[in-house]
Chain A
């Protein structure tokens, strides 16, 4: 656990933490992002297989 916390500190990200719409405030959690096509994954998986 400490490893992943330490690792995340090395991300070169300097913005804020975006507000996340909690489940009780929306029908599908996380879907406050404008989606053109929702795909099965982010494309990362196909790097592995």
Chain B
């Protein structure tokens, strides 16, 4: 068992209020990961030779000890990446400090110009701050990509967003599709989720007709079943190396810690931990014993169950493994294959 990367949700707090975010279920908790807890987790990750941490939220830059967490990880030869809306990175002193502590990479989640997300928050100048933060990231030579989450609300604006981004940076742009946010009452962001065939049809039209998508610095997070795509489009994406995957659950190469050290199968399942660091295990030996338990093996297996029996013999199964495991909470792949899904 080897973890190549870890995710630390350092807070559920956020300075925005995106409707599609799973953490809208958790924001009322007003929680921050305790610094002592973060240090213990980093010690553990060092012990098991995990050398990469993604710091996420909520909005991780709200954590009062973020600099200490980054510094401690860096001292233990663990690379830190920040998944952020970027608003606080517009502050020169703050980003300089994060850089000095060892921050290596930023995933900046871009939400468009004059977007309702920004208007919902307190500060009307948030969009300008994000542009400033991109300038700062470049100034401090931090490796970064721009992430775009496509929802039913913004799918028709994505091309304009990419054109806007290209006015200020030539960084890599990652495009991903909105996935279900699952709270204890069920899926909480259903109105933002597009059905796979709807998204694919829209994306294929955009991709084939706009030169901005042809760049090698554009990458699609391909989390849908490969068989749903037009073969020509998927081949073109592959030829240009524009398809990316990174699901730790399907690869089984990652570990996710929630704010209190709870262990999650996926960040989208934050309300449903399967264990807790410090209780389920606290070092390499006890971790190996924990993950060898039949009930834990069974849990991971069930989470990775393929969406339909046709996947069992599909030649493309090794490309997609049926796609993102949690999307099948919101719709049935069998119904899509049967042509019962409405666009």
What 1/0 flags go to B229-259 for Cβ under 8 Å of A? 0000000011001111111101111000000
Contact A4 B272 (CB under 8 A): yes
A37 is contacted by which of B243, B301, B332 (Cβ under 8 Å)?
B243
Contact B1 A43 (CB under 8 A): no
- Would you list 7 pairs from A and B whose C-beta atoms are within 8 A, ordered by A residue? A1-B274, A7-B269, A30-B251, A36-B238, A40-B52, A42-B246, A48-B22
B107 at the A/B interface (Cβ < 8 Å)? yes
A47 is contacted by which of B105, B179, B329 (Cβ under 8 Å)?
B179
- Which residues of chain A come closer than 8 Å to B267, judged between CB atoms? 44-45, 48
Contact B253 A43 (CB under 8 A): no
Contact B244 A36 (CB under 8 A): yes
Contact A15 B54 (CB under 8 A): no
B83 is contacted by which of A15, A32, A46 (Cβ under 8 Å)?
A46
- Which residues of chain B come closer than 8 Å to A12, judged between CB atoms? 307, 328-329, 331-334
Minimum distance in angstroms from B226 CB to a CB of chain A: 10
- Which residues of chain B come closer than 8 Å to A5, judged between CB atoms? 299, 302
Interface size class of B (residues with CB under 8 A): 35 or more
Within 8 A of A (CB), among B318-343: 318-319, 321-322, 324-326, 328-329, 331-334
- Which residues of chain B come closer than 8 Å to A16, judged between CB atoms? 305-306, 309, 311-312
B51 at the A/B interface (Cβ < 8 Å)? no
- Which residues of chain A come closer than 8 Å to B7, judged between CB atoms? 41, 45
Within 8 A of B (CB), among A6-20: 7-8, 10-18, 20
A49 is contacted by which of B83, B244, B250, B299 (Cβ under 8 Å)?
B83
5 additional contacts, CB 8 Å, given A1-B275, A40-B54, A43-B246? A16-B306, A16-B309, A33-B251, A33-B319, A40-B5
Contact B305 A46 (CB under 8 A): no
Residue of B nearest to A22 (CB): B1
- Separation of A11 and B333 alpha carbons in the complex (Å): 10
B133 at the A/B interface (Cβ < 8 Å)? no
Which of B37-45, B55-63, B156-164, B195-203 forms contacts with chain A?
B55-63
- Which residues of chain B come closer than 8 Å to A35, judged between CB atoms? 245
- Which residues of chain A come closer than 8 Å to B136, judged between CB atoms? none
B90 at the A/B interface (Cβ < 8 Å)? no
- Separation of A49 and B59 alpha carbons in the complex (Å): 5
Within 8 A of A (CB), among B56-103: 56-60, 81, 83-85
Q: With A23-B1, A47-B20, A48-B56 known to touch, is A40 a contact of B81 (CB < 8 Å)? A: yes
- Separation of A11 and B247 alpha carbons in the complex (Å): 17
- Separation of A14 and B97 alpha carbons in the complex (Å): 50
Q: With A8-B303, A46-B83, A48-B23 known to touch, is A40 a contact of B274 (CB < 8 Å)? A: no
Contact B149 A46 (CB under 8 A): yes
B109 at the A/B interface (Cβ < 8 Å)? yes
Contact B243 A36 (CB under 8 A): yes
Contact A17 B272 (CB under 8 A): no
Which of B120-128, B170-178, B204-212 forms contacts with chain A?
B170-178
Contact A11 B179 (CB under 8 A): no
Contact A49 B58 (CB under 8 A): yes
Minimum distance in angstroms from B137 CB to a CB of chain A: 14
Q: With A11-B328, A15-B310, A17-B306 known to touch, is A45 a contact of B56 (CB < 8 Å)? A: yes
